[in-house]
């Protein structure tokens, strides 16, 4: 073969290379989507049934971890202890040369991924998916550290008991949890790392009406945001995951802000040589306990393992990553639009934005809602998980029943439908009442000054009446909307005003 033939063949190969890469990428995506669809349909077979809500504690996962010690598939070791002496474990699967490290619940009130990790453990214990398991476990060694901050989880708070954000302790190393996480990282020298978090349900995908259910980030390693091969591999994997999830939850995948945080673990792990992927679980309509997003985490992580095992991520480019829309904060829990109101004889239109704020209760095992008016006016750029156009209707403050009751029992026997029809949102109680909320569909006032809190203004309690042609159509109690005429809509709890 002469030099001219070699040169021509080489030129043809260069022209064909983009086409070959495109074919390989499409093949990889088809395989990944097939796996994702199967996992989506089979998820209930693997879901850990003992965990059904977000406020589970360290004591709830210890029996599950102990079960793995009797299964030769798993290696379970105590990695260290939290500040309050709770054991933190490292669980290992597989024996391959590619090392993957996942850590969850560094922030104690961010438990979605921890739930998904126990679903993943069940997946590997169960029968089926043999080809997948053989590929992943022969090519990868996967290390899991669930619940890095068990003390924070105990009180459902972000920080540890020193009130330090562990995710700002990668460098100074003042918390036992932060020291443990970094020392484990240095011992493992993983190729890929997964930093698993929850973000506010207020995040949207850019300026859209869609919540950011999942947000990714390949953290940057410096203020200049220069990209090296380590971060580049994380970007490629995220690109693949983004395309895959866009088939399952289209329009609900975003990118977290890429500002460099020199104190954070993700940014530093990326800088120290592990391709690190941040996954933030955000909001999904009617998914208060994050059970659907738990399922999405399960699918995302198992799909990631396959991609790393087979090297599929190398077929994707960072250009896809660059096109992922950024998180923005345009979501509220409730938006009621185009309501007529009046002040000083002048009528005007307002939109009302409400957030239903969770408050810990019963040693943080449960919660109740204490809602607030988040914004008023033209909210056309914002979107609500519950979003209603009430054009033609009017809004006015809820009424307070003048009768003062001597016991909660007396209040419990009231006809609440009748009270709602008359526009009452609050009743008075003379008796002692210690709980911060009531399960009754009405607010309870223990003070004479409740009238000062009923105005429809920013930060006030969302307790009001919505009328159509002078008749009460909706009642809003503690931020929850109920259709008075059709008797639909749940008031999850009333507030207690002191």
| Buried-exposed string 375-386: b where 16+ CB fall within 10 A, e elsewhere | bbeebeebbbbb
Between residues 179 and 433, which one has the greater pLDDT?
179
Rounded Cα distance, 451 and 234, in Å: 55
Using alpha carbons, select from 437, 421, 410, 428 the residue that is nearest to residue 495: 437
**Which homologous superfamily does the CATH classification assign to the domain defined by 10-328?**
Zn peptidases (3.40.630.10)
3-state secondary structure of 172: coil
Long-range contacts at 357-364 (CB < 8 A, ≥ 24 apart): 359/436, 359/437, 360/155, 360/156, 360/157, 361/436, 361/437, 363/155, 364/55, 364/154, 364/155, 364/156, 364/157
Q: How many CB atoms lie within 10 A of CB 53?
A: 14
What is the arithmetic mean of pLDDT over 415-428?
Answer: 97
* Mean pLDDT over the full length of the chain: 93
25 pLDDT higher than 90: no
Q: What is the pLDDT of residue 343?
A: 82
Q: Which two tokens stand for residue 351?
A: 């939109």
Using alpha carbons, select from 276, 292, 273 the residue that is nearest to residue 284: 292
Rounded Cα distance, 7 and 16, in Å: 14
Q: Using DSSP bridges, classify how beta strands 383-389 and 424-429 pair: parallel, antiparallel or unpaired.
A: unpaired
pLDDT in tens, 106-154: 999 999 999 999 999 999 999 999 999 999 999 999 999 999 999 999 9
- The pTM assigned to this predicted structure is 0.91
Using alpha carbons, select from 183, 144, 191 the residue that is nearest to residue 311: 191
Q: What is the pLDDT of residue 26?
A: 59
pLDDT in tens, 238-262: 999 999 999 999 999 999 999 999 9
What are the residue ranges spanned by the domains of the chain? Answer: 10-328, 331-497
**How many CA atoms does the CB half-sphere of 132 hold within 13 Å?**
19
Q: Using DSSP bridges, classify how beta strands 331-343 and 346-361 pair: parallel, antiparallel or unpaired.
A: antiparallel
Q: What is the pLDDT of residue 23?
A: 56
Out of 2-16, 116-130, 157-171, 381-395, pick the least confident.
2-16
| Fold annotation for 331-497 | Urease, subunit C; domain 1 (2.30.40)
pLDDT in tens, 36-82: 999 999 999 999 999 999 999 999 999 999 999 999 999 999 999 99
pLDDT in tens, 423-474: 999 999 998 899 999 999 999 999 876 655 568 999 999 999 999 999 999 9
pLDDT in tens, 260-308: 999 999 999 999 999 999 999 999 999 999 999 999 999 999 999 999 9
């Amino acid at each position: 073969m002469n030099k001219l033939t070699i040169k021509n063949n080489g030129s043809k190969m260069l022209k064909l290379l983009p086409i070959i890469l495109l074919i390989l990428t499409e093949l990889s995506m088809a395989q990944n989507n097939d796996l994702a669809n199967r996992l989506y349909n089979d998820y209930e077979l693997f879901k850990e049934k003992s965990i059904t809500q977000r406020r589970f504690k360290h004591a709830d996962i210890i029996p599950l971890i102990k079960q793995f010690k009797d299964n030769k598939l798993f290696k379970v070791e105590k990695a260290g202890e939290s500040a309050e002496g709770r054991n933190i474990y490292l669980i290992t699967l597989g024996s391959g040369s590619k090392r993957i490290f996942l850590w969850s619940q560094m922030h104690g009130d961010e438990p979605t991924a921890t739930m998904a990790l126990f679903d993943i453990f069940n997946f590997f214990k169960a029968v089926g998916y043999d080809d997948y398991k053989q590929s992943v476990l022969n090519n990868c060694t996967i290390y899991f550290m669930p619940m890095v901050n068990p003390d924070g989880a105990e009180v459902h708070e972000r920080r540890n008991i020193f009130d330090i954000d562990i995710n700002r302790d990668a460098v100074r190393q003042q918390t036992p949890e932060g020291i443990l996480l970094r020392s484990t990282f240095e011992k493992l020298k993983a190729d890929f790392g997964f930093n698993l978090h929850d973000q506010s349900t207020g995040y949207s995908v850019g300026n859209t009406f869609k919540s950011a259910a999942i947000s990714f980030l390949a953290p940057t390693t410096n203020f200049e945001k220069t990209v090296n091969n380590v971060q580049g591999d994380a970007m490629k994997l995220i690109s693949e995951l983004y395309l895959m999830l866009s088939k399952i939850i289209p329009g609900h995948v975003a990118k977290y802000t890429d500002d460099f945080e020199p104190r954070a673990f993700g940014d530093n792990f990326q800088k120290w040589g592990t391709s690190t992927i941040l996954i933030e679980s955000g909001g999904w309509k009617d998914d208060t306990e994050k059970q659907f997003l738990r399922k999405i985490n399960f699918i995302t992580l198992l799909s990631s393992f396959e991609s790393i095992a087979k090297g599929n991520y190398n077929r994707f480019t960072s250009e896809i990553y660059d096109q992922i829309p950024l998180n923005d904060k345009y979501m509220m829990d409730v938006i009621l639009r185009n309501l007529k109101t009046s002040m000083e004889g002048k009528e005007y239109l307002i939109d009302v934005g409400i957030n239903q704020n969770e408050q810990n209760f019963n040693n943080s095992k449960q919660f109740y809602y204490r809602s607030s008016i988040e914004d008023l006016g033209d909210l056309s750029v914002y979107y609500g998980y519950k979003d209603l156009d009430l054009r033609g209707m009017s809004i006015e403050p809820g009424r307070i029943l003048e009768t003062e009751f001597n016991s909660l029992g007396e209040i419990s026997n009231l006809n609440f439908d009748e009270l709602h029809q008359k526009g009452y949102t609050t009743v008075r109680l003379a008796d002692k009442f210690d709980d911060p909320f009531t399960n009754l569909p009405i607010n309870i006032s223990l003070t004479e000054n409740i009238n000062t809190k009923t105005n429809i203004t920013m930060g006030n309690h969302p307790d009001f009446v919505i009328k159509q042609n002078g008749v009460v159509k909706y009642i809003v109690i503690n931020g929850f909307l109920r259709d008075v005429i059709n008797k639909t809509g749940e008031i999850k709890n009333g507030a207690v005003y002191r």
